[in-house]
Structure 1
């Protein structure tokens, strides 16, 4: 049985990863500020990593402002790398995003790419799991894409995935041998970003119009058509949007 510390273990993905690992007999330890572990200040980090075989980082920045998100991922990762090295951790797993290695102007992607570089250059055995956009992002994308009473989004292609499937991929990776490389994971359907949000809102009875606008930004950046698409060799999970929607009603 491996001792696996999950940084961000109380969040959307982290809580699912912890549950999946525990269900398969691993000692899964959730770590987050709510449990006294802060990867920015270093508080509690040495204690939680002591005796760990694997560290899994699924944490996220509380702010997506360009300077804030870059500071979060570089500071947190530097502290985690140092702590993992001191603790003799044998496998460093991190969840990241499909598209970080392609031309784009997205500040969040730049910060994740910086995180990836720090892990690759750490000398630690590692695995990087690149996921496509989550179905769970539909509401958030709609909220930041409003303009003149409608939602404006480009038709940028994507292959969105359910958070449950992301957690399965991360847990499997953490329980396996280090890849010393990267994998990509995605859902089964290719669709436009505009279509994803349009279908999601329609199912939930949201009457807002989704306008296909090639010039519309995605979280502040103009997108190329295939920036968010996985490459050949991607691991495809089965959950479709039509299956996910009725099982995930909006939170009241």
Structure 2
């Protein structure tokens, strides 16, 4: 099977390319570094030629409200148009748990727009919504730091290992289109404070970690929006094992 991974040189994309090649599929990584620009359209048609499946794991270079919305709408529109021309039979998109709840964050609104484009197209699809990655916890801490204190919002948090996201995408990409979204989360549900505190302690980072009802997550209130609201797949990697590794 010929599978094109759009965003195939990033954290998730590069690992997904490797995993699918290990299953003896013909896999094409498509990204600006391989000459494929989904915003301008450069190289997209050539990359998608002959593909049966396209997996979109692209991410915006900017998280500001306007640019991130522009990226996901233009990129997704370009990819879907090229898929129609190429006769692609399955579009798999990586999204974020919580986009189905009213999002204040510009990034989540952009992911909503992306999902709407995918579901409105005539191309059979599957959307995987994942919770935040373990690998992203340090960035969360940095964004919430003032002086030597990390102040985080209250509420539940259920991050997942990037490797488990890759495994789920590989399974979905090689299966029949589901025509719906699938949620994926890690096996451990705690507060964000607990996860971040353990990551910083493992790095001997001296920052203090605290919570506040007024704290925001990248500029938005979240409540329990970052955990699945209903049925979800659960990743195999426990947080403690990931931390040790």
TM over 0.5: yes
Q: How does 1:208-223 map to 2 (within 5 A)?
A: 208-223=207-222
Equivalents in 2 of 1:239, 1:76: separation in Å? 31
Corresponding residue for 1:190?
189
Give the SS at the match of 1:216: coil
Q: Tell me, yes or no, if the aligned pair for 1:184 and 1:231 is still in contact at 8 Å.
A: no
Equivalents in 2 of 1:196, 1:114: separation in Å? 30
Corresponding residue for 1:237?
235
Corresponding residue for 2:157?
158
Equivalents in 2 of 1:156, 1:71: separation in Å? 30
Query: How far off its partner does 1:155 sit?
Result: 2.2
Corresponding residue for 1:167?
166
Equivalents in 1 of 2:163, 2:62: separation in Å? 24
Corresponding residue for 1:250?
none
Corresponding residue for 2:61?
62
Give the SS at the match of 2:178: coil
Corresponding residue for 1:95?
94
Q: Tell me, yes or no, if the aligned pair for 1:98 and 1:228 is still in contact at 8 Å.
A: yes
Equivalents in 2 of 1:219, 1:76: separation in Å? 23
More displaced stretch, 101-110 vs 116-125 = 101-110
TM-score (norm 1): 0.95
Q: Any stretches of 5+ residues in structure 2 without a counterpart?
A: none
User: After superposition, what is the alpha-carbon deviation per residue over 1:211-242, rounded to whole angstroms, capped at 9, x for unaligned?
Assistant: 11121110011122x21111332111121111
Query: How far off its partner does 1:156 sit?
Result: 2.2
Equivalents in 2 of 1:31, 1:55: separation in Å? 10
Corresponding residue for 1:22?
21
User: After superposition, what is the alpha-carbon deviation per residue over 1:187-211, rounded to whole angstroms, capped at 9, x for unaligned?
Assistant: 1000111211111101111110011
Q: Tell me, yes or no, if the aligned pair for 1:185 and 1:235 is still in contact at 8 Å.
A: yes
Equivalents in 2 of 1:36, 1:93: separation in Å? 21
TM-score (norm 2): 0.98
Q: Any stretches of 5+ residues in structure 1 without a counterpart?
A: 248-252
Q: Tell me the number of residue pairs that the alignment of Structure 1 and Structure 2 aligns.
A: 245
Equivalents in 2 of 1:222, 1:155: separation in Å? 10
Q: How does 1:3-82 map to 2 (within 5 A)?
A: 3-82=2-81
